[in-house]
Structure 1
Amino acid sequence: MCILFIAVQQHPNFPLIVAANRDEFHARNTLPSQFWPEHSHVLAGKDMQAGGSWMGVSKHGRLAALTNIRAPGKERSDAVSRGELVMDFLTQDFTGDAYLHRLSKTAQQYNGYNLLFGSLDNLQVYNNFEDSVYSLSKGVYGLSNANLNSPWPKLDLGRSELAKYCQQPGELNIEHLFDLLGNSTKADDEVLPQTGVPIEWERKLSSIFIESPDYGTRSSTVLLLDSYKQVFWQERSFNPRAELIDQQTYLFKLQDMSEK
């Protein structure tokens, strides 16, 4: 997962809105989002190479999503797969404090990441490079391959658009959110971030939706939590030509933890 836009208590009917793109090499084998047979309360996609996931939600109201931190000079070949963090949180009964302690203790085992995690009404973002945590209070947030709300053009654009959508009267049209996630506008060179990759890659990665033959946006996901504790989830998958090739839609009411 490489970009997330999150609105907390910004829409009268949806206290939580998450719009996210997963950017990855197209050759990396992936299963679309589904309820996992071995963890029937967990809805998530699956990375078949390492076995973890990039984003998922549980019927008990837990959410986890991952973005990598772009830091070419700090990448370790022997690092543990970051995708296991998502599934660990969704499948185990961690409290927030206990999980933060675990993340801090194991931070150096992984290459750079941000992890959005928590209950759907109490989310936090942990950054392992800084060993820091930020609680998401009321507001609109953007998370990509640096710190939360870094002043990258695509993050500023997405946050601004999401804030506008949340102010529109009436029901939220999810197509607006997918339009946001499908925005392929590239930033001008003078405002590109400098993350240590060649300028050609900075340009390619500067749009919300990334299209290239080898690496790009593999899927877009919209998650909505409504005022009645009902979760809507739709994931759309794309090929290297940015053509829609699959779609998964789920609607379910949150369960009490005692219903396990």
Structure 2
Amino acid sequence: MCLIAFAWQIHPRWRLLLAGNRDEFHARPSAPLSHWDDLPILAGRDLEAGGTWLGVSGTGRCCVVTNVRDPRDPQHGVSRGLLATDYLKGPDDATAHAAKLLGAAADYRPFNLLTFDATHGFYIGNRPQPRAQPIEPGVHGLSNADFNTPWPKTRAWMTRLQAWMDAGHEDDFSPLFRGLADEHQAPDETLPDTGVGLERERWLSSAFIRGERYGTRASTIVAIDYHGKGRVLERRFGPEGRFEGESELTIHTV
């Protein structure tokens, strides 16, 4: 998942309204959004490492993980996807989980992690050093840099999410999916320099990334109300942005 915007505790209906794109190599095997047979989790699944990039638990908790874009930083350590799975299946709430994870965060590959429970949300990252911070009510964004880093695609996506809320939407998520499909690239003068070169920075600056080997694999929307119930919607894509299907699951708290 490489682009996320979310509204936390400010929408009149949804405690958490999150929308994001997962960008990944198309050759990496993945299972679509589903109820997992072995764990009380609603998520897609990375079939290579066994974890997930975004998921919801049967208690209405949510977790999202991204990598950190820095080609100079070696990708050593435990798989990031297990961070999401461990939180969703674990007994700790977001506050206790964040405190514990700080002690082990350096053991994982470079990551950004968002965790939410019924009352609290946290951002946890391990670059340049492990840290955790509570998430305040509001609209926030995350890509492959630090929390709320104002990359053009992140700023633009936060603005579109705010516009969706200002329009009074509750159940019509089609404008959000249209935004996630946006292939507009940012002007060169606004692009970050993350060490991948200008041409690649341009390509990666759009919300939806179209490519033969790498690109947007899934667009996902999570809507959880103040009682812990809600919906998860996913649209999936293959090489060159080919549409490969969609799923919708209902969140029932247990």
Q: Quote the residue 1:8 is aligned against.
A: 8
Distance 1:75 1:103 in 2: 21
What secondary structure does 1:162 align onto?
Answer: helix
Query: Partners of 1:68 and 1:20 in 2: how far apart?
Result: 14
Aligned residues: 253
Shift of the 93–209 alpha-carbon distance from structure 1 to 2, 3 Å rule, reads same
- Determine if contact 1:238/1:246 at 8 Å carries over to the other structure: yes
Verify: 1:133 aligned to 2:129, yes or no: no
What is the alpha-carbon distance in structure 2 between the residues aligned to residue 170 and residue 197 of structure 1? 38
Aligned position for 2:84 = 86
Measured in 1, the distance between the counterparts of 2:94 and 2:11 equals: 25
In the TM superposition, residue 227 of structure 1 has moved relative to its aligned partner by: 4.4
> Alpha-carbon deviation of 1:122?
1.6
Tell me what 2:96 maps to.
Answer: 98
Residue matched to 2:24: 24
Mapped to 2, the partners of 1:223 and 1:25 lie a distance apart of 23
Q: Which moved more, 1:29-38 or 1:243-252?
A: 243-252
Alignment of 1:104-115 (within 5 A): 104-115=102-113
> In 2, distance between residues paired with 1:201 and 1:80?
27
1:124 is matched with 122
TM (norm. structure 2) is 0.94
Match of 1:67 in 2: 66
Q: Is the 8 A contact 2:215 2:240 kept in 1?
A: no
TM superposition score normalised by structure 1: 0.92
- What secondary structure is seen at the aligned counterpart in 1 of 2:109? coil
User: For residue 6 of structure 1, what is the amino acid of its counterpart?
Assistant: F
Counterpart-to-counterpart distance in 1, 2:131 and 2:114: 12
* Residue aligned with 1:15, SS: strand
For 1:229 and 1:97, the matched residues in 2 are separated by: 17
- Residues 170 and 238 of structure 1, relative CA distance in 2, 3 Å threshold: closer
Compute the RMSD of aligned alpha carbons: 1.5
Distance 1:171 1:79, change over 3 A: closer
- The change in CA–CA distance for 1:139 and 1:190 in structure 2 (over 3 A counts) is same
How much does 1:170 deviate?
5.2
Instruction: Measure the CA separation in 2 of the matches of 1:198 and 1:45.
Output: 31
203-212 vs 164-173, which deviates more?
164-173
CA–CA separation in structure 2 for the residues paired with 1:213 and 1:92: 37
Matches of residues 1-260 of structure 1 in structure 2 within 5 Å? 1-39=1-39, 41-76=40-75, 78-129=76-127, 130-169=129-168, 171-255=170-254
Q: Distance in 1 between matches of 2:98 and 2:225?
A: 27
Q: 1:212 to 1:226 in 2, by over 3 A?
A: same
**What is the aligned-residue identity percentage?**
37
Shift of 1:169: 2.8
What whole-Å deviation, never above 9, does each CA across 1:151-180 have from its counterpart, x for those lacking one?
110011001111111011353410011111
d(CA) in 2 for partners of 1:150, 1:90: 26
Query: Does structure 1 conserve the Cα–Cα contact (< 8 Å) formed by 2:232 and 2:248?
Result: yes
